[in-house]
Amino acid sequence: MKDSHGLKCNENQILQQLQVTNPTMTFTMAKNWSQEHEILHFPIDGIPVLSGFGCSNCSYCGKKAKTIFNHIYKIHCNESVHPIVVERKVQKLFSTSIKQYIQVMDGNQGESDIPDWKEKLTVDFNQMMKRLNATTSSEGLDLRLMNAFIAKIRHLSL
């Protein structure tokens, strides 16, 4: 430390003076931890939980929606399923060069990132299939059979 800051003490003496018993995280340790923990199930005490945004295809989060739009444009531009921006609760754990927001799950926030339109589409599809099966199995008119019958009659009349 003397060479860098002109201090005549070492790192252990500083930690003892500050009464730090556990060593702090190094940059590499912090980066590895943030990559392993993309979603926190419970917020970390002492760090504010913010309203932010996230990508619906991955765990990428940010404070501003524009950040997520840029992420989607750069990362997911060639994917067949185009992601959307969803609201999420986030925490910014590190203020160093790891300036990344991490998603925080609430107790009632499960898989709420699935948009309502996907669920509605699934319900509509299932109802349409039930109606189709009901008309083909009942004594109702089958349009495909009627079209084939009309085509055969026209062909025979030529």
Cα 66 to Cα 71: distance, rounded to the nearest angstrom: 9
Residue 114 structure tokens: 């699935």
Residue 139 structure tokens: 């004594």
Residue 27 structure tokens: 């940059």
- Partners of residue 90 on adjacent β-strands: 50, 103
Instruction: Please give the full DSSP string across 66-114, using - where no structure is assigned.
Output: HHHHHHHHHHSTT-SS---EEEEEEEE---SS---EEEE--TT-SSTTS
As a whole number of Å, the CA-based R_g of the chain is: 29
> What integer pLDDT is reported at residue 33 of this predicted model?
73
Per-residue pLDDT of the chain (158 residues; tens, 9 = 90+): 445 666 677 777 877 777 777 767 777 877 777 777 778 888 888 888 889 998 888 888 888 999 888 988 888 888 877 888 899 898 887 776 666 888 888 655 445 555 666 777 777 777 777 777 765 555 566 677 777 778 777 777 66
> What integer pLDDT is reported at residue 154 of this predicted model?
77
Give the residue extent of every domain in the chain.
1-33, 37-110, 115-158
> What integer pLDDT is reported at residue 1 of this predicted model?
47
Global confidence as pTM: 0.51
> What integer pLDDT is reported at residue 158 of this predicted model?
63
- DSSP single-letter state for residue 92: E
Cα 29 to Cα 18: distance, rounded to the nearest angstrom: 22
Q: Report which secondary-structure segment, H or E, holds 40.
A: strand 39-40
Residues 6+ apart with CB under 8 A from 52: 61, 62, 63, 64, 87, 88, 89, 90, 101
Q: What is the Cα 55 distance to its own chain's centre? A: 5
Single-letter amino acid code for the residue at 118: K
> What integer pLDDT is reported at residue 30 of this predicted model?
76
Residue 65 structure tokens: 């929606």
